[in-house]
Amino acid sequence: MTDAVLEALRSVIGSDGVRHNDAELKLFAHDASNLVGEAGVVCYPRTGDDVCRIIDVCRHFGIPFVARGSGTGLAGGATPIGGSVVICTTKMNRILDVDVSSRLAWVEPGVLNLDLTRHVARFGLHFAPDPSSQQSCSIGGNVANNSGGPHCLAEGVTSAHVLACDVVLSDGSLVRLGGEEPEFEGFDLRGAFVGSEGMFGVVTAICVRLTPDPLDVRTMLLDFETVRAGTDTVSAIIAAGMVPAALEMMDRLCLQAVEAFIHAGLPTDAAAALLVEVAGAPSAVAADAEAIERIGRQHGARTVRTARDEDERALLWKGRKNAFGAIARIKPNYYLHDTVVPRRHLSDVLDHVYRIAAEEDLVVLNVFHAGDGNLHPLLVFDKREPGVLERVHRAGAAIVEVSVAHGGVLSGEHGIGLEKRDFMPLMFSENDLRAQGWVREAFDPLGLANPFKVLPSPAGCGDAHAHVEGLWV
């Protein structure tokens, strides 16, 4: 990064908000994925005006910028390419306003997901999207990737809980997309922005919908002798007309890794276990729980465990939400996709996943949102092993291809980013991709907002379009 750019940035947000040392540039060269790029400078805005000033500097010098929250993304969406300016929003972490009567809140993008729920808990409210990284991921990042979580089966993902966004576009202008009203005139630009992975601009404030806490909750763990029995139970529950608050699955190796970490008495000899939660009025919860137990036993459930109290419920959810961390007991690195497949194809696709991993001599764990078919196969490995990255990469590509071949899609919540960018033609025609490029250009005609992401051949990139292979580490 040139001295002129650094001086310009320091002059608009202060020297303490501009970092250019080697340690921070290395840290911000990647997110939580296995892809590493190159950060030119890291900026820490504290206000929306700071973001406007940073982007004005980027526009003046023609330098691309990348918004980044907590860095928990798994698809390389916040990985800067070619020395981009990284706009880190972690210091924009205020809860600006809570309207209990209207059940909405305005927050800055650096607010952590779980912190918002804790803040409004005294009002009997919560923020429904709850990614597994809930304790560390920011709401700005949730908006960028349209994140989900275990409890989004019934409530919907982030887009269903965002009413409005204040956004700085690549020309430095600040606009509001959407509004507090349920309906507003014109195009749903808010809907277009949520899930745009930083390609349309940088969000500076978000109006989110808050959800009342349920009157009653029941959490159940059902275990099976085969994975297929578990997935068949998932389909049967939904076919019976029930949509649980959550419907998660873990396979044997995942159960073993998690149990070694949390000591919750998980059935480590089972081929698979379902974590099912029902919520609502007490009578409805009791009826649904009874029906789910009956369906589970009809499909071969060996045991059905119901959490006795809040402590046991929290322990079961701790196991599910810390599964990714628990696998470090097996090997130090992991790579996962989050393809979504029709529920009726879950068993077949999982059979393919196990076969692909075996063919590449890799260990795979499966822990996923079974209710909506959102797979999270984790390929665990040690990157110090010669040749392992090539095998992991081949296996990942094969998993994506087989998912799409079974009527699935590339991502349920992690985004496309760099990781799945070159798989986009599996789902979209040239005309589809061209139309998406036009939408991107309408928001960012200068092409400065998080370039080289999502679309495999963005207009005007030419030879600068980096290939994902070269970014793998």
**pLDDT at residue 463, as a whole number:** 37
* For range 333-343, the mean pLDDT: 93
pLDDT tens for 212-265 read 999 999 999 999 999 999 999 999 999 999 999 999 999 999 999 999 989 999
* For range 101-109, the mean pLDDT: 97
Domain that includes residue 308, residue range: 216-325
* For range 305-329, the mean pLDDT: 90
pLDDT tens for 181-192 read 877 778 999 999
Q: Is residue 236 part of a domain?
A: yes
Q: Is residue 440 part of a domain?
A: no
Contact 468, 418 (CB under 8 A): yes
**pLDDT at residue 460, as a whole number:** 40
pLDDT tens for 118-164 read 999 999 999 999 998 999 999 999 999 999 999 999 999 999 999 99
pLDDT tens for 280-290 read 999 999 999 99
Q: Is residue 353 part of a domain?
A: yes
**Do 53 and 39 belong to one domain?**
yes
Residue ending a domain, choose from 30, 54, 88: 88
**Do 184 and 109 belong to one domain?**
yes
Number of domains in the chain: 4
pLDDT at 8 over 80: yes
* For range 416-441, the mean pLDDT: 96
Chain-centroid distance of CA 465 in Å reads 24
**Do 348 and 392 belong to one domain?**
yes
Residue ending a domain, choose from 88, 112, 127: 88
